[in-house]
Amino acid sequence: MKAFRLLLLAAFAAVLSTARADERSMQPILTKGEIIVNYVENELDKEIVRIEYDLLSTTKTTTRILAKGWNYTILAFGDDYFEDIDVIVYRKSNGAWVEVGRDADSEALALVNISPNTQGEYKIEIKAYKFKPGYNIGHYGLIIAHE
């Protein structure tokens, strides 16, 4: 998966090397999302089951039912205002959230692979760990895919 990260980060740098005309534009995150969608569908041969875009300044959470027998890839990525974005995945167990996966690399792309033992509710937490100097908010994307 490290090669996957490096490939995507290089593609991001090439596509997004020009300055934004409007700092509020969604275009940079949509461009990154398109690169990731193409890679996930064509190279990893996975089906995307959810895509989400939003603003992120600290932490966002979302939930989803994940099924036993599927291998899920969960990707969170930030626009060019992020230096580091993290994702943590929790499974609901006896009314409490138990961590089952995390990506804490120091990149603006986070990836977690999950193979649930049982079907259940999972919480995905996207964290803005570090912004580039001068920024404290940016757009993020979340993609959930399975085989």
Mean pLDDT of the chain: 88
Question: pLDDT of 61-73, one tens digit each?
Answer: 999 999 999 999 9
pLDDT tens track for 10-63: 454 444 444 444 667 899 999 999 999 999 999 999 999 999 999 999 999 999
Q: What percent of the chain has pLDDT over 90?
A: 78
CA distances from 22 to 26, 28, 30, 115, 143 (A): 9, 10, 14, 40, 25
In 10 A of CB 96, how many CB atoms? Answer: 8
pLDDT in the model for residue 127: 97
pLDDT of residue 136: 96
Alpha-carbon gap, residue 89 to 85, rounded angstroms? 14
Question: For position 25, what pLDDT does the model report?
Answer: 86
* Residue 105 confidence class, pLDDT cut points 50, 70, 90: confident
Q: Which amino acid is at 48?
A: I
pTM to 2 decimals? 0.84
Enumerate residues 6+ apart whose C-beta is below 8 A from 83: 106, 108, 129, 130, 131, 132
In this prediction, residue 1 carries a pLDDT of: 56
pLDDT > 80? residue 3:
no
